[in-house]
């Protein structure tokens, strides 16, 4: 059975520009490329799970999200297989959530389709919705954020569920089991 790392996009792999719709605005977070390479080297399958409510709100189309993802993938320049699957959740918050985090649906589907070992699956993100999607799916959440930037709500969630906090993806990969 495979081990896997699920990843949020905005604020985790690339800078969170709030409703990014210009591929030229894609900027990698420090340590992102190194961290993802390291995870691949250690046999982790990578899955991207990104909420993009700008689509559901009618602010930009899904093709804009694809264009930004392509730019991110170009900049990351990961060795094969790169990301195994990419899930874009386009729903706005007032629509019924299908794949929108904290829904565990994408993670659950990937565990079933790719024969992943949920004991060795991690969801890394910078928001509580990332952490909750992991908890809802029964896998291990990891908060990727400098400790000094944690909100009170995040501190409580981290304490309550004993969630690991990592400075960035390089730090995360270096400490993956």
Question: Which are the catalytic amino acids?
Answer: 8, 10
**Binding status of residue 10 toward Mg ion by CB under 5 A:** yes
Judged by CB under 5 A, the chain residues 82 through 111 that form the site for Mg ion are: none
Q: Which residue's beta carbon is nearest to the bound Mg ion?
A: 11
- C-alpha distances (whole Å) from 77 to each of 33, 37, 66, 140 are 8, 9, 16, 27
Whole-number minimum distance, CB 41 to Mg ion, in Å?
Answer: 24
**Binding status of residue 11 toward Mg ion by CB under 5 A:** yes
**Binding status of residue 128 toward Mg ion by CB under 5 A:** no
Binding-site size for Mg ion (CB under 5 A) equals 5
Whole-number minimum distance, CB 119 to Mg ion, in Å?
Answer: 25
Instruction: Indicate which single residue of 91, 126, 128, 154 sits in contact with Mg ion (rule: CB under 5 A).
Output: 126
d(CA 10, CA 17): 8
Reported in sequence order, the residue ranges of the chain that DSSP labels E, i.e. its strands, are: 2-7, 44-51, 83-89, 116-125, 140-144, 164-166
- C-alpha distances (whole Å) from 59 to each of 18, 48, 72, 90, 102 are 12, 22, 20, 11, 22
From the list 7-15, 26-34, 133-141, 159-167, the region that binds Mg ion by CB under 5 A is: 7-15
- Assess whether the previous peptide bond of 119 is cis (omega < 30° from 0): no
Whole-number minimum distance, CB 68 to Mg ion, in Å?
Answer: 13
Interacting residue ranges for Mg ion, rule: CB under 5 A: 8, 10-11, 126-127
């Amino acid at each position: 059975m495979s081990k896997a790392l699920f990843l949020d996009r905005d604020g985790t792999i690339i800078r969170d520009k709030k409703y990014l719709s210009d591929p030229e605005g894609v900027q990698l977070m420090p340590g992102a490329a190194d961290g993802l390479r390291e995870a691949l080297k250690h046999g982790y399958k990578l899955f991207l799970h990104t909420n993009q409510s700008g689509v559901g709100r009618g602010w930009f189309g899904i093709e804009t999200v694809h264009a930004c993802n392509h730019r991110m993938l170009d900049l990351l320049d990961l060795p094969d297989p790169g990301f195994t699957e990419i899930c874009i959740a386009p729903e706005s918050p007032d629509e019924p959530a299908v794949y929108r985090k904290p829904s565990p649906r994408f993670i659950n589907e990937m565990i079933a389709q790719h024969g992943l070992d949920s004991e060795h699956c991690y969801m890394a993100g910078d928001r509580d919705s990332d952490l909750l999607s992991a908890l809802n799916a029964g896998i291990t959440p990891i908060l990727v954020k400098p400790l000094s930037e944690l909100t009170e709500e995040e501190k409580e969630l981290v304490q309550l569920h004993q969630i690991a906090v990592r400075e960035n993806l390089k730090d995360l990969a270096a400490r993956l089991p």
